[in-house]
Amino acid sequence: MKNWVKLNLFYVGKSKKHYIFRAKQWNRKLEKLLKQSLFNEKYEKIGYIKDIFGPFELPFLSIKTLPGQQFDPNDKFYANLT
């Protein structure tokens, strides 16, 4: 499990198709997460990171959920950095 990364995100709001979050902590290696799957605390796949945009230091992340998937924006999120 050494490639799992816990994402420290702040929920901003929802657009028509995506959930928007702001990173509380960020570094360059996390840019590899673009288009990667997103998981909850139980390591169940809940969606993927659609886009990373905004200021380099603390960017915004657009998250697209899987159809019919329960999604709580206050959950803890994880991604596999491969």
> For 22-80, how does the pLDDT look when each residue is reduced to its tens digit (9 = 90+)?
999 999 889 999 999 999 998 899 999 999 999 989 999 999 999 988 889 999 999 98
Residue 37 to residues 5, 10, 55, 57, Cα–Cα distance (Å): 12, 18, 22, 22
* Per-residue b or e along 42-73, where b marks 16 or more CB atoms closer than 10 Å to that residue's CB: eeeebbbbbebeeeeeebbbbbbbeeeeeeee
Each domain of the chain, given as residue ranges in start order, spans 4-80
Residue 35 zone, left/alpha/beta (φ > 0; ψ -120 to 50; rest): left
Q: Give the closest residue to 39 by CA, choosing from 77, 1, 71.
A: 77
pTM: 0.89
- The answer to whether 12 and 23 have CB atoms below 8 angstroms apart is no
In CATH terms, the fold of domain 4-80 is Thrombin, subunit H (2.40.10)
